[in-house]
Amino acid sequence: MNILLAASEVVPFSKTGGLADVCGALPGELARLGHRPAVIVPAHRDSSCCGAIIEPMGIDFIVPIGSKTVTGHLLQSTLPGTKVPVYFVQQDHYFDREGLYQADGKDYIDNCERFVFFSRAVLEAIRLLDLQVDVIHANDWQTGLVPAYLQIEYRGIPRYERIASLFTIHNLAYQGRFWHWDMLLTGLDWKYFNWHQMEFHGHLNLLKTGIVFADSINTVSPRYAQEIQSAALGCGLEGTLQHRSDVLSGILNGMDTVHWNPATDSNLAARYNVDTVGQYKPTCKAALQKELGLPTRPNVPLIGLIGRLCDQKGIDLVAKVIQRWVGEEDAQWAILGTGDQKYHDLLGDLAGRFPQKVAARLEFSGELAHRIEAGCDMFLMPSRYEPCGLNQMYSLAYGTVPVVRATGGLADTITDADDQALEAGTANGFSFSEYSELALAETLRRACDVYRKKKVVWNKLIDTGMRQDWSWARSAREYVKLYAKTIARRKEAVLT
């Protein structure tokens, strides 16, 4: 299959979040499976900072933006370590900026115009580069107009009529909502600005647009695909998603098994695999305790947490539990991340008052993140919602038992250590459902009890987790199946 993956950011050329990781990893795996992927992305200011060679192609194009026309240029490179072509849409007025979507914490006021231009450029590039495309894989609101333009403006043009479209939602909370007059920028007829298609409470909604016009829709875990059809997690689009539920599915993201591999990780005090974890993981724990200024105690449970310190990640629950546990439970905490100032203040205060139990590094360090994953006994992710999540996968790979709330991708990856799962040999962590301090505390106590009193069970949890496959190779195989279904769906639509 010929797959054109369109995204606003792609590792290693640009990144603000997990979208870039997906779009940087998936194409290489698709190529290894024998398919022909290509990637198209804006030429952001820092795109060349990764060291890859980006060359001009001598191809210019002009697209309409509202009542004016705007010129762009195409550049090319390859994804490092692969032969996958990467095409860059260069338009310096739109993309030669300090940040990808915002500066000084505020969104660019012309974000709608910028990604109208990019979406049009994606479709023009197919013609200009003479690309043979079976399916366009668009991602998040920044490319939500791609399926719409394909369906409304390009279906009657040779080479475009059979191109299928897949639209992936990485996080439904980010929707690309703009005032209604920005509809003029799209060049599409006002008849599409209705509550069935592009309008959302009086605003233009580009994520909704992608959902409505794509041949297939998916998100980054099966559970999240179900959750976003509910009022609780649908962010107002649950009705639209329910209406398209017959073409909506979920595929778990994969993890980077090259950079996240305890057998080869140069950040660790000792390297290990599933056969040597019992021998060398204690060395990593002792080294982490020393680095963080915690007492070097091999038998105390060391609980890790890495990520944004905000309510979405369940930090409100974590803060309450730590405040109680520093006086009641014999456990240590290793926390790494940045976020809301109230949590900086609270965790900084707890670390200052209880240095024997709490270590908080209110920053981000990739190297320390690896050492926390290797050195901790448990890893905590009590998220309110989590479309996919990656740290629980890293934890499984590093023999660190996850303790999670059963939502989104966390529910799809972590099997709770209840009696049935333990007997079946499928348990790989601990999970709870109710979003409450009590549920989190009870689950942590259960995990600590197993850690202290049932070493055979604990070691089995580690072994099960480390032997599981959460690689991008697994995810890519699922995407190949979804692409095939999407192409078949488009062919059927053409015939009817």
Q: Which two tokens stand for residue 135?
A: 């399916």
Q: What digits encode the pLDDT tens for the residues 51-66? A: 889 999 999 999 999 9
- Whether residue 73 lies inside any domain: the answer is yes
Q: 50: pLDDT confidence band, cut at 50, 70 and 90?
A: confident
Q: 393: pLDDT confidence band, cut at 50, 70 and 90?
A: very high
* 242 and 281 part of one domain: no
* 245 and 297 part of one domain: no
Lowest mean pLDDT among 156-160, 297-301, 403-407: 156-160
What residues pair up with 40 in beta bridges, in sequence order? 6, 87
Q: What digits encode the pLDDT tens for the residues 12-32? A: 999 988 899 999 999 999 999
pTM score, whole prediction: 0.93
- Whether residue 406 lies inside any domain: the answer is yes
* 464 and 479 part of one domain: no
Ramachandran area for residue 202 (φ above 0: left; ψ -120 to 50: alpha; else beta): left
Alpha-carbon gap, residue 30 to 405, rounded angstroms: 32
Q: What digits encode the pLDDT tens for the residues 264-293? A: 999 999 999 999 999 999 999 999 999 999
- Whether residue 176 lies inside any domain: the answer is yes
Phi first, then psi: what are they for 281, rounded to 5°? -60, -35
* 84 and 174 part of one domain: yes
pLDDT at 481: 98
pLDDT at 495: 79
Q: What digits encode the pLDDT tens for the residues 310-337? A: 999 999 999 999 999 999 999 999 999 9
pLDDT at 209: 98
Task: Give yes or no for a contact between 414 and 402, defined as CB atoms under 8 angstroms apart.
Answer: yes
- Whether residue 370 lies inside any domain: the answer is yes
* 319 and 455 part of one domain: yes
> Does the structure show a pLDDT above 80 at 178?
yes
* 424 and 482 part of one domain: no
* 342 and 489 part of one domain: no
Instruction: Give the residue numbers spanning the domain of 195.
Output: 2-254+474-495
Q: What digits encode the pLDDT tens for the residues 87-101? A: 999 999 999 999 999
Q: What rounded mean pLDDT belongs to the chain?
A: 96
- Whether residue 287 lies inside any domain: the answer is yes
* 212 and 293 part of one domain: no
Q: Which two tokens stand for residue 330?
A: 């014999």
CATH number, domain with residue 338: 3.40.50.2000
Q: 342: pLDDT confidence band, cut at 50, 70 and 90?
A: very high
- Whether residue 267 lies inside any domain: the answer is no
pLDDT at 493: 85
Phi first, then psi: what are they for 130, rounded to 5°? 55, 45
> Does the structure show a pLDDT above 90 at 7?
yes
High-pLDDT (> 70) share of the chain, %? 100
- Whether residue 212 lies inside any domain: the answer is yes
High-pLDDT (> 90) share of the chain, %? 93
Q: 235: pLDDT confidence band, cut at 50, 70 and 90?
A: very high
* 486 and 340 part of one domain: no
Number of compact structural domains in the chain:
2
> Does the structure show a pLDDT above 80 at 496?
no
* 334 and 430 part of one domain: yes
Q: 46: pLDDT confidence band, cut at 50, 70 and 90?
A: confident
C-alpha dihedral sign at 254, 259, 262, 268: negative
* 83 and 101 part of one domain: yes
Q: Give the 3-state DSSP-derived string for the chain, with helices as H, strands as E and coil as C.
A: CEEEEECCCCCCCCCCCHHHHHHHHHHHHHHHCCCEEEEEEECCCCHHHHCCCCEEEEEEEEEEECCEEEEEEEEEEECCCCCCEEEEEECHHHHCCCCCCEECCEECCCHHHHHHHHHHHHHHHHHHCCCCCCEEEEECHHHCHHHHHHHHCCCCCCCCCCCEEEEEECCCCCCCEECHHHHHHHCCCHHHCCCCCCEECCEEEHHHHHHHHCCEEEECCHHHHHHCCCCCCCCCCHHHHHHCHHHEEECCCCECCCCCCCCCCCCCCCCCCCCCHHHHHHHHHHHHHHHHCCCCCCCCCEEEEECCECHHHCHHHHHHHHHHHHHHCCCEEEEECCECHHHHHHHHHHHHHCCCCEEEECCCCHHHHHHHHHHCCEEEECCCCCCCCCHHHHHHHCCCEEEEECCHHHHHHCCECCHHHHHHCCCCEEEECCCCHHHHHHHHHHHHHHHHHCHHHHHHHHHHHHHCCCEHHHHHHHHHHHHHHHHHHHHHHHHC
- Whether residue 269 lies inside any domain: the answer is no
Q: What digits encode the pLDDT tens for the residues 429-455? A: 999 999 999 999 999 999 999 999 999
Higher pLDDT, 495 or 328: 328
* 193 and 302 part of one domain: no
